[in-house]
Amino acid sequence: MSARRIALVCMTPKPDTDEHGPLRLPSYGIHRILAATMADPGLSSAKVSLIDAGGPDPDAYMSAIEQIDPDLIGFSIYVWSTPCLVEVARRVKRRRPETLIVFGGPSARTALFDLPAYAPASAYLDAVVSVDGEAIFPEIARLPALTRDALSAVPGIYVATPGGTGWKHTGHRPAMASLDDIPSPFQLGLMPAQSVAYLETYRGCPLGCRFCEWGAKETSKAVFSTDYIARELEAFAEYGAPAVFLLDAGLNLNAQGFRNLVAADARVGMLRSTKFWAEIYPTLVRDEHLEFLSRVGPSYLGVGLQSLDERVLALHDRPFDRGRFERNMRALASVTTPELQIIFALPGDSPDGFRQTLEYARSFGVAVRAYHCLVLPDALMTRGRPEWRMRYDPATLAMIECDGWTPEEVTAMREELARETGKSNGHSGNYWWSFPPAR
């Protein structure tokens, strides 16, 4: 058998503002798959290429794919890249029907591909990987035959059935027992130098908030070890990373993961000399977290409030203790510079309710970021309630209307936030508006 030709495809968008300066933020998920594929002994003879056009240009992607002439293509999709990369896959299947196409990434879910804008998925993809892509994709690449029928031997994936009639799940796949077995693109020298570094200490989330994808994943107690994290930090230093982005659902949502991070940082000392970006769950802040944050001095610390209305938060299975939240916010503000995050157009909320949330968030004297609610595949798209009557854009997944919000009110709130951030000398993107600390 001749050497397999494998293409890994993603789209890394340019930042929609220069808020953090001219930093490079390469797609991390696709580099994880690249590292796992290149480190697999069974694929040592494979020719693996990464394609990233950096923008929605199907012609550029097709040109690169045709030059590689791949037997297997892995697409990694996010909200911003889904329309373009689905179009690329459609073109590939029309021109090269024998090419096996696998989709993965945060937006690669059967619920999304079943939307009218993307159905029938069987016309352009063969399988969807929603868990443990680093283990599954190399297993697919090692199959004796790269056919849709052969995919049945790989547990944990969804295979598209002919004629757009549905999906075949290939069976349960246990969560990875040791996350340390996942090859690191940083340690293997596969990431662009002097770009933002991405760090994980665990995966999943113990919470299950309906508006968020994190809690929908199978929760595992596995964490990355202190030694693994230390090797990552050492690799970041060698790369000259200007910032480290902690990808965990929250700095304080996995006690062992946090302890391993603290121990690794104490050994390497890298985080003190670079920007550190992280999220933290406000009601679980403890002295150990405050001490760590005061030592490393994060340049960005996101704190999720989402809504002030306890009724709305209860609808979305979001725990909230206002007294503890306020105490911990004051404690965080005393050692670092947090940013409060809120969401408008949440089902069950209202424009007036959101304005009260915004006023409350700004009263803490910290930066506040408002997000337009997105109907994400593992979140509201599959866990929303029928009575919420949600309607959303299939390309951007932005909420158009829902219980408590008319289309006109959603549009008016976007315009209102644009005006208010402008008056405050804040920043904004396509679906977020950031207010500086109120004076």
Task: List the domain boundaries for the chain.
Answer: 5-169
* pLDDT at residue 15, rounded to an integer: 66
Exposure string for 213-242, b = 16+ CB within 10 A, e = fewer: bbbbbebeebbbbbebbbbbbbbbbebebb
Residues 6+ apart with CB under 8 A from 92: 62, 65, 73, 99, 101, 124
Domain over 5-169 is classified CATH 3.40.50.300: no
* pLDDT at residue 222, rounded to an integer: 86
pLDDT in tens, 393-420: 999 999 999 999 999 999 999 999 999 9
Local confidence pLDDT in tens for the 439 residues of the chain: 568 999 999 999 876 554 555 688 899 999 999 999 999 999 999 999 999 999 999 999 999 999 999 999 999 999 999 999 999 999 999 999 999 999 999 999 999 999 999 999 999 999 999 888 999 999 999 999 999 999 999 999 999 998 767 899 999 998 888 999 999 999 999 999 889 999 999 998 888 899 987 754 555 578 999 999 999 999 999 999 999 999 999 999 999 999 999 999 999 999 999 999 999 999 999 999 999 999 998 788 999 999 999 999 999 999 999 999 999 999 999 999 899 999 999 999 999 999 999 999 999 999 999 999 999 999 999 999 999 999 999 999 999 999 999 999 999 999 999 999 999 999 999 999 999 997 7
Q: How far is CA 136 from CA 59, 105, 140, 220, 228, in A?
A: 29, 12, 6, 17, 21
Residues 6+ apart with CB under 8 A from 57: 84
Strand 399-401 with 427-428, pairing: unpaired
* pLDDT at residue 24, rounded to an integer: 82
* pLDDT at residue 164, rounded to an integer: 67
* pLDDT at residue 162, rounded to an integer: 84
Closest alpha carbon to 38 in 191, 199, 239, 190: 190
Residues 6+ apart with CB under 8 A from 420: 426, 433, 435
- Per-residue DSSP letter, 340: E
* pLDDT at residue 218, rounded to an integer: 52
